[in-house]
Amino acid sequence: MACIRNQSSSSSHTKNFDVFVSFRGADTRNNFTGHLFAALERKSIDAFKDDQKIKKGEFLEPELLQAIEGSRVFIVVFSKDYASSTWCMKELQKIVDWVEKTGRSVLPVFYDVTPSEVRKQSGKFGEAFAKHEERFKDDLEMVQKWREALNAITNRCGWDVQNKPQHEEIEKIVGEYLPNLIRLDLNNSKNLTEMPDLRGAPRLKYLDLSGCIEIVRIDPSIGILRELVSLSLRNCKKLFINLNIIFGLNSLKGLDLAGCSKLLNNRLPKKPKETEHLEKVETNRSVIQLSTSSIYEILMSPFNFLSNRKNKDSLGLLVPYLSRFPCLLGLDLSFCNLLQIPDAIGNLHSLKTLNMGGNKFVRLPTTIKELSNLDHLNLEHCKQLKYLPELPTIKEQERGKYVRELFIFNCPNLSEMEHCYHIAFSWMTQIFKALLESSLSLVNIEIIIPGTQIPWWFNKQNVGNSISMDLSVVMEDPNWIAISCCAMLVACHDDSADLNDRWQLDYVTTGYSFQNNQVLGNTYWAISIAVNDDLIMGEIDHLFILFLSRESLIHHLDPYEDEMIDLDKIGFTIGIFNLPKDLHFEVKNCGYRCVFKKDLEQLNLNTMFGGNFSSMQAFNK
């Protein structure tokens, strides 16, 4: 029946497969599917096969469920008697559920039935469902789900091989469909020790190995994925990688290496020019046609490597080579034990999101200023950070919604706080001024920065996590351009908590809402903060500052138009979500200010903190 379980599957180790083939063994075992498995084997595609001929029992076996969840692609071979097997229908239901949940690929193959027979459940399929409805008359809901599963599969692009030559059609299926796999999601495969060979999927665009905590090596075949746009190796804590095999991935837009503290060994080329022949791979559009041995020879050829680098800072050596990824928009190097950030980070001119949190560097390079497209900078838990450089100036933006975020959370060694506040607030105001003068209207700026009291500038304040607003007096004023809100956040861990039994980070999420009666309604997620292990020691206080343009606030209030919201009874509310039981995290007080054009012209540290910096020094203690 279905290729589900290896005969040797008695071990507790879960194997992942390239392909799972669902078929009715009595119909196809010795002809179509036999040739299909042979073709898959010739292409070095690992398919799950079960030679057990008779399936009994009410529930799918655990090995079957593990095989389904561990497979990348599903092939469902519909034959005339496929639907008569309750086992096949249960298996199909599980496949459909898993495909809808994960987005993995599925290919229907119509062997000796028409797609219409399967879709409409006519002919043999109709007879089979009549029997199912009689047998399971007390559970017709299950039979209906089987019908829906058939519809879901047959609505996808499939392969009709009726009255066509098993070999010719099988070669087309294997040769044309499987290489077009564009998404491979193996996240949280905790028993996976090696990434699979990807030579059979050269068109892959998205590869997610996040949470594969046992994986130790990346297969060199990743180097041929010239169309890969997203690579996540988040929390692959045991992973080592030879950088040479990823330098050809010049289509990458998102690279997530968070938590990969052992990611790189010291095998880096002495100079970028020593890898020039890899660039030939990048520009050779027929690289897929190269023989396997040629590809591996290119990817694994010897280099003159540096040998005097210490492994503990090897990930920092990656940064000068990131210019090999010219399309990179998002880079996450958080919690990678970085000791320094090279000046070359400023060469990533397309970068929009940069997460450097949880590292050990003392300062950021001044070249950060060159990242004029940067929308999001996360420096949470950079406990050795002492100096904050000048932040990027903005470039002209296109019309639409615009969000900028700066998170400086739990950086206890920051010195010259006057300078830090000056950098943060100057960045905030110059962004807002420039954006208001441009064609943009929906502007959001979100900042988190150390602080123990809400600045005096926020002239409306309240204890707790919410405050009432009266916007009726400003809504018609043409000089009113924005609203700014502030909340004081306090966090500390329970000293008795055992924080060493978690293999991945927990995140607290902060959200805000505007609604009547200070009820947290449609929530806009603002901040996700990593909170476990020894990240938070003692009590720490921070300010969350939000700037919304007038149009952006009105857009936030749009969901409540049908409720005839009273502008004099709007509530701003801050909420804390996903809070671990061992963490105390609260909003002590909050405030807001209606911002007029003259406010931006006069906004500086004196006006923000009450006239002199001495109050700000107390504010930071």
Residue with tokens 């040797």: 8
Highest mean pLDDT among 68-72, 206-210, 521-525, 550-554: 206-210
Residue 421 has pLDDT above 70, yes or no: yes
524-560 burial: b if 16+ Cβ within 10 Å, else e: eebbbbbbbeebbeeebebbbbbbbbbebbeebbeee
Mean pLDDT of the chain: 76
- Give me the pLDDT at residue 368, please: 92
- Give me the pLDDT at residue 299, please: 37
pLDDT tens for 115-145 read 889 988 999 999 999 999 999 988 899 999 9
Report the pLDDT averaged over residues 176-182.
Answer: 73
Q: Where are the beta strands (DSSP E) in 253-400?
A: 254-256, 330-332, 353-355, 376-378
182, 205 Cβ separation under 8 angstroms = yes
- Give me the pLDDT at residue 571, please: 82
- 51-60, 186-195, 422-431, 509-518, range with the lowest pLDDT: 51-60
What are the distances in angstroms from CA 174 to CA 21, 166, 301, 419? 12, 12, 30, 61
- Give me the pLDDT at residue 542, please: 92
Residue 373 has pLDDT above 80, yes or no: yes
CA–centroid distance for 226 within its chain = 20
pLDDT tens for 422-468 read 888 888 888 777 766 666 677 888 999 998 889 888 999 999 998 98
CA–centroid distance for 165 within its chain = 43
Measured in degrees and rounded to the nearest 5, phi and psi for residue 602 equal -105, -5
- Give me the pLDDT at residue 499, please: 44
- 84-98, 391-405, 547-561, range with the lowest pLDDT: 391-405
- Best CA proximity match to 325, nearest among 296, 284, 282: 282
Residue 401 has pLDDT above 60, yes or no: yes
Residue with tokens 């509530």: 571
Q: What gap in Å lies between CA 590 and CA 611, rounded to an integer?
A: 21
pLDDT band at 608 (very low <50, low <70, confident <90, very high): confident
Q: What gap in Å lies between CA 89 and CA 68, rounded to an integer?
A: 14
Q: What is the phi-psi region of residue 564: left when phi exceeds 0, alpha when psi lies from -120 to 50, beta otherwise? A: left
pLDDT tens for 378-400 read 999 999 999 888 888 766 555 55
- 400-409, 449-458, 497-506, range with the lowest pLDDT: 497-506
Higher pLDDT, 26 or 534: 534
Rg (CA), the chain: 29
pLDDT tens for 578-587 read 777 777 888 9
At residue 482, the 3 state secondary structure works out as strand
Handedness of CA 590, 591, 592, 598 (dihedral sign): negative
Element (H, E) at 285: none
35, 90 Cβ separation under 8 angstroms = no
Global confidence as pTM: 0.70
Residue 268 has pLDDT above 80, yes or no: no
Report the pLDDT averaged over residues 180-185.
Answer: 78
| Amino acid present at 467 | I
Residue 270 has pLDDT above 80, yes or no: no
Residue 304 has pLDDT above 70, yes or no: no
Residue with tokens 């529930």: 59
139, 190 Cβ separation under 8 angstroms = no
In this prediction, what percent of the chain has a pLDDT beyond 70? 73
pLDDT band at 564 (very low <50, low <70, confident <90, very high): low
In this prediction, what percent of the chain has a pLDDT beyond 90? 23
